[in-house]
Structure 1
Amino acid sequence: MPKPVSRILLVNDEKLVLKALVKGLNAAARQLDNPLGITFAGVESSAEALAAIQADGEIQAVIVDDQLPGDSGKARGKQRLSALNLVHEIHALRPELDVYVLIAQENEDEVVNTLLCETVDGYFYRDDPDYLGWYRILNAQLQERAHTPFYDKLKQYVFMAKDAWHTPGHSSGDSLRGSPWAEDFYEFMGEHIFKGDLSCSVPMLDSLLHPTGIIEEAQQIAAKAFGARRTFFATNGTSTANKVILQTLLAPGDKLLLDRNCHKSVHHGVVISGALPVYLDSSTNEEYGLFGPVPKAVIFRAIEANKDARAMILTSCTYDGLRYDLKPIIEAAHQHGIKVIIDEAWYGHARFHPEFRPTALECGADFATQSTHKVMSAFSQASMIHVNDASLDEHVFRENYNMHTSTSPQYSMIASLDVARKQMSMEGYKLLSRTLALAAELKELINATGVFRVLELDDLLQDEVKGDGVRLDPTKITVDISACGYTVDELQKLLFERFNIQIEKSTFNTITLLLTIGTTKSKVSRLYDALMRISREGRAPRRLYRTPAIPHFTSLKYLPRDAFYCGGQLAPLLDEADQVNAKLAGRISADQIVPYPPGIPVLVPGQVITPEIISYLVNLLRSQKQVELHGVVFDGWLPCIRVLTDADEQGLRPLDAEV
């Protein structure tokens, strides 16, 4: 097992003093217990310090002399300001680092009062170098950051080998061992997955539904790492996290501004909460079948037109890596008291590298939901809810959280959240730097094939959002495959069957590659080799039929919750002549109809159905590219959707105005 390396950087412009400090602290590290591999190095200027912090992902802490001179080397007050400026720069570059300052004892009161406002972790006396004491403090602080309270306790409990007289029924895997029918599953999964699969009957592992011990401690450490006031672990994925927040904030009839491009869980949250949604059409790139952000102008108009809205939810970044310039949008919403929720399911890693920042929380969002499992090292379904809303009613939140959370959570999933946080806090910057370098290399290699082309930000954005400050997450790579001579389905099958490569998603003429902290150089090489071999086949480009463009949102006649809970009836999309059923026009949908991917509803409960929507759904069913249609029910071979009956509508109150 590889051992960690933790470098601590000292910044002092006096060469002899710096040399003595580094020598003394390294001697202390050799003399005392050093499980984190702490070593000390020194630089003489702010510029050198920032360069080292940017280049060296092993740096875990920085000690800055408060007398560090600025570039101009002027008066003492200016020198101190220079040291504080360096502290600010360090936090802007890598907020996870511990930062300490060296001060003169006689200036303690003045300096400490200043430092308390600067999120500095501590200070040492320059003229009284207690190397052993300093080392113990630094080591303890790093140990605290590297601490995984829940995982450690789970591991401890498993190694205690207690006899299980409680759920789950496999009883630490004993039901499977020795079974001629099921032992292969035990051997495939490994013994610890079963020994760690425990029950809320084990008090020492705390309760996810009412945490007061190690789960609460793990959540507090996560909140600090991700820059939140409070963090809650979710074991039902970000889908449930979104529903919990919406149900907490919204009462029936409350207005919610939402990107129509939001994940289906948001639209489910609208039904559950009884909210009145104001749908914002996202920008659409019909050339590549991609959905982008809502234009800023549309968002600002919606905010001004709906100042009584309770909340707004946006997705940043999108599935394809497009991220909003969030700060002005959040500020505009907050001017009218509108809470802002950002679905960061695909962007949980952003806090740990300046290339991806600012995060939603850093831009002022009240809530952020993150799929820790999507881009970090947690198990599938493991997510986090980050809260910065100072007015959060935690009791109401907890009641809604518990309404959606299983009373039998998967403890290994909670442990994976604990470990994923630790890894990002301790080596996230290093791993993301590697991922960014691999992304740049892969992009260059793909373009070098001469057949496949990586789409740039300008290719992905429509004109209406090109001036909105939208940025692209470079770890999501969208590739134009239209010149390769295969349809996208044929290409995916070829990559899977011949080259053992599974991609993230596709449109009719693109594939999307997701790079994470688990991407390796060898994987990049294998993918490039596969694409180069395919490009050398020299196949003539095929005519690729575009997936029909999703129609714009029409209007709501009833609250989505009211329409959903009606009985309704199934109505066919096709008539007796196998043509578009024109009789559906004007009817009201009782369900959410979602083409997947990308998962954007073409109909929501309560929405008026138009001829364009019917044609879109029929054309999608007949499309060359296979698309799941969630909400479409097949009566034999006949595709149907659930709509309201006349009797249903008589029992509902229409909305006063179109939304």
Structure 2
Amino acid sequence: MSEPSRRPLGMLALLASEDTAKPDADGAATRRLQSALEQLQIQVVVAASAEDTITLLRSNPAIQCLLLSWGLPGTNATRGALEVLAELRARNEQLPVFMLADRDSAAGLPRYALELTNDFIWIQEDTPVFIGGRIQAEIARYRKSLVPPMFKALLEFSNVHEYSWHTPGHAGGTAFLKSPVGRAFHEFYGENMLRSDLSISVGELGSLLDHTGPIADGEKYAARVFGADRTYYVTNGSSTSNRVILMASVSRGQVALCDRNCHKSVEHAMTMSGAVPTYLIPVRNHYGIIGPIPPARLTRAAVKEAIDQNPLTAGCEDKTPVHAVITNSTYDGLCYNVRKVEALLGESVDRLHFDEAWYAYARFNPLYRDRFAMYDQEREDTPGPTKFATHSTHKLLAALSQASMIHIRDGRRPIEHGRFNEAFMMHASTSPLYSIMASNDVSAAMMAGPGGETLTGESIAEAVAFRQTMARLHSEYIADGEWFFNGWQPDKITDTETGRTYAFHEAPPEQLCNDPEAWILRPGDHWHGFAELEDHYCMLDPIKVSVVTPGVENDGALAKHGIPASIVSSYLDNLGIVVEKTTDFTILFLFSLGITKGKWGTLINALLAFKRDYDHNRPLVECIPSLTNEHPGYREMGLKDLAVKMFASMKALRTTTHLAQGFSTLPHADCTPVQAYEALVRNEVEMLPLSQLAGRTAATGVVPYPPGIPLLMPGENFGDAEGAVLGYLKALEAYDREFPGFGHDNHGVEVRDGEYRIYALK
């Protein structure tokens, strides 16, 4: 096996000139410059038009310098150099630009061009060696400016090649080289990754626990980028970030307001802190998609009523809520008007916590203005609530798995750093992975400046193109009397300037990419199916795409024919396409920064292939062989046969109806989550089948996953035998028995021989 290279990335310059092939003096001088740069080990890529130059700038972020001819041909008789400068500076403010010009043309350059250009090259007057040296120095400065503080320190230290006498024991990867399997591991991950896996003992990099040195510099840098007063790097995911915030803000016996749509990590945080949760109930639609909490339920009067009706608050000396947690955006992409939420809940509580794990990109595109926690706001004489936000930077930004950030904007009842850090240290590892912290650093740097809007804009544009393609195909198939999938999105779009209304697939893509009005959930619109909404209160995030399978009417009733989403997901998985989330009739796809036209084009082809195979009832042994290999009972069935049988069972078991009822009904709380957990630890529990759980108290949370939203919290009552909670669980249990390979994943539920069993308090 060859040793991995540790050479730095090579220098790359883009030469945008129409002269490189010309036989005249300018052409000869340009070619001499190109040769001189290559002798300095600067690779040169050549473009001869503005169109080609812009394409290369968009597709190759490794370009570190632009050499731009003022005479570059443009499109439609426009000045090509100006086109290129406008495109470049909309994407990158720092890339050095040298204008290839003579003194006469330089004297006549418009101010706009002068402002966007770093320097000039007098190609006929200065020597190629002199010019090459200036370019080389400028590229070096540019490369140095790119790297954020913590990642920069890590790069510098990992290049020292010091002898390690501290943990980790692989000592920069050396230990792996002593074993055949270790060498395979070393070659797979590479020396740079292993050399950057360092001990907390490395003082040059600072401390995550004390927030000192380059780590602290990185956190301060991220705070500026994300609009926070303080930012903390977390290496255990936003599950830990949520726990840190709750543990710092709420203590035993205090009342906390909690979105019932919160992730189970908030449940864990409530349990660990001893908080008394009072739940704020969101709405659901006919697909079972969780909507927002209606504004009427966030008013001071509504919050007081919810606390007074909560049986757990009866023993609280003080019923004033001290903390509130809201999920924004939801798993399915519903984003609140945070100004509105802050104004409503700020009347009741001094600390607002927004779980924005799936939403770290929102600040960087104007489409989401005022719909994220750290929105731009003027500091008022009377401060608003202190706000917290958690971001899973690994989910839809470019960080490594487990990377997360906590952002804080101080307001009323702030928690100063010293006290907050005690909760942070309680949950943080004393051996954090530096690569995770560095990826947080890099994620922030990628979003800084115009790059953030460009990258998020590209994700939005890809999602819009996919949505419109799906909507067009759906419209064409329906017109021909056939079926096809559709996207969960508005049916029609109205141009706010002209008043013209379009079918979704015919709307101008520019409007869908840039106008928030196109994505607002309007009161009474049947496509979203949510009641109790105010106009402009909630918006659908275009990059979270729910593909809808046939089977549900607008009133929530099941149609005559339908295709369960789980069989579509299984089919896609066989083609190497892994989806984010599957419900009864929706499949969620996330258009992150890494999605390309090739990826979503492949997805379109796969969905068309499913339609073709479904319509022809292709044998399952051919289209989902992994299913028939594991479960031979399906071998004689076709794809349509199975889908029809599954849909009939869902109809008979009323799974969609039970889901809506189960998540819309607030169970009676018999005790707090921490009391239930303490009973679990003392073994004052018993594991029982569903048939014996009526009227009993849950010892653990029951959490369908994904998305990890609790159906039942610890300490809550299972209710009647045929009530909302047990009715839903029994429907899932019966379905799982009938269709092995399509079982539901419910945390807190143990399945024994097809029977659901759950811990209950004795």
| TM-score tier (shorter) | 0.7 to 0.9
Distance 1:479 1:41, change over 3 A: farther
**Mapped pair 1:432 → 2:453:** no
Please state how far the C-alpha of 1:323 moved relative to its aligned partner. Answer: 0.9
Give the counterpart letter for 2:359 in structure 1: Y
**Percent of pairs with identical residues:** 34
Distance in 2 of aligned mates of 1:263 and 1:387? 20
Q: Distance in 2 between matches of 1:188 and 1:637?
A: 40
Q: Are residues 237 and 39 of structure 1, via their aligned partners in 2, closer, same or farther at CA, if it must alter by over 3 Å?
A: farther
Alignment match, 1:492: 569
Aligned partner of 2:579 in structure 1 is: 503
- SS of 1:463's equivalent? coil
* Cα drift, residue 487 of structure 1: 3.5
Match of 1:607 in 2: 716
- The 1:145/1:234 distance shift into structure 2, 3 A limit, reads farther
Question: Structure 1 stretch 405-414 or stretch 635-644: which is displaced more?
Answer: 635-644
Displacement of 1:405 in angstroms is 0.3
The alignment status of 1:569 with 2:646, answered yes or no, reads no
The match for 1:323 is 335
SS state at 1:177 partner: helix
Q: Give the counterpart of 1:460 among 521, 525, 528.
A: 528
Which moved further from structure 2: 291-300 or 614-623? 614-623
Aligned mates of 2:577, 2:354 — CA distance in 1: 32
Structure 1 residues 290 and 621 mapped into 2: Cα distance closer, same or farther (>3 Å)? same
Shift of 1:425: 0.9
Deviations 1:376-398 (A, max 9, x none): 11001100000002422211110
Q: Does 1:469 align with 2:586?
A: no
- State the Cα deviation string for residues 241-277 of structure 1 (Å, max 9, x = none): 0010011110111111111110000011100111110
Unaligned runs of 5+ in 1: 7-34, 43-48, 62-97, 100-137, 575-579, 646-659
C-alpha RMSD of the superposition = 3.4
Alignment deviations for residues 192-232 of structure 1 (CA, whole Å, 9 cap, x no partner): 22111111111111110012210111111110000000000
C-alpha change, 1:288 and 1:179, in structure 2 (3 Å) is same
CA-CA distance at 1:319 after TM superposition:
0.7
- Of the structure 1 ranges 403-412 and 557-566, higher mean CA displacement relative to structure 2 is found in 557-566
Q: Aligned AA for 2:669? A: L
Counterpart position of 1:303: 303
CA distance in 2, matches of 1:284, 1:347: 21
Task: Give the secondary structure class of the aligned counterpart of 1:284.
Answer: coil
**Partner in structure 2 of residue 28 of structure 1:** none
Equivalent-residue separation in structure 1 for 2:12 and 2:669 (angstroms): 57
1:534-577 residue CA offsets vs partner (Å, 9 max, x unmatched) = 33446267463244312411222222112211132224124xxx
Deviations 1:64-101 (A, max 9, x none): xxxxxxxxxxxxxxxxxxxxxxxxxxxxxxxxxx99xx
Q: Out of 541, 552, 560, which is 2:673 matched to? A: 560
What residue ranges of structure 2 are gaps of 5+ in the alignment?
A: 1-8, 15-62, 71-81, 95-114, 117-137, 308-318, 378-385, 475-483, 491-524, 552-560, 616-639, 737-741
Tell me, in whole angstroms, the C-alpha distance in 1 between the residues paired with 2:242 and 2:598.
36
Change in CA separation of 1:535 and 1:523 when aligned onto 2, cut-off 3 Å: same
User: Which residue is equivalent to 1:620?
Assistant: 732
- The secondary structure found in structure 1 opposite 2:282 is coil
Instruction: Give 1:630-641 correspondences, 5 Å limit.
Output: 630-634=747-751, 638-641=755-758
- 2-side partners of 1:291 and 1:5: how far apart? 49
Q: Are the equivalent residues in 2 in contact too, given 1:282–1:291 (CA < 8 A)? A: yes
The TM-score normalised by the length of structure 1 is 0.74
| 1:377 corresponds to | 398
Which residue in 1 is equivalent to 2:194? 194
Tell me the amino acid that sits aligned with residue 361 of structure 1: M
Q: TM-score, normalised by structure 2?
A: 0.64
Deviation of 1:158 (Å): 1.4
Q: Which has the larger radius of gyration?
A: 2
Q: Of 93, 105, 112, which aligns to 1:60?
A: 93
Distance 1:379 1:340 in 2: 27
After superposition, what is the alpha-carbon deviation per residue over 1:317-363, rounded to whole angstroms, capped at 9, x for unaligned?
Answer: 01110011221221222234431100111110011110122221217
Given that 1:452 and 1:481 are in contact with CA atoms closer than 8 Å, whether structure 2 keeps it comes out as yes
Please say if residues 363 and 374 of structure 2, whose CA atoms lie closer than 8 Å, have aligned partners that are also in contact.
Answer: no
Q: Distance in 1 between matches of 2:537 and 2:272?
A: 34
CA, structure 1 residues 167+602, in 2 after alignment: closer, same or farther (shift >3 Å)?
same
Give the letter for the 2:699 counterpart.
A
Q: Which residue of 2 aligns with 1:442?
A: 466
* Comparing 139-148 and 267-276, the one that deviates more: 139-148
CA contact (8 A) 2:332 2:544 kept: yes
Q: 1:357 aligns with which of 349, 369, 388?
A: 369
Query: In the aligned structure 1, how far is the partner of 2:343 from the partner of 2:294?
Result: 16
Number of matched pairs? 531
Q: Does the 8 Å contact 1:452/1:479 carry over to 2?
A: yes
Amino acid aligned to 1:290:
I
Deviation at 1:40, TM superposition (A): 11
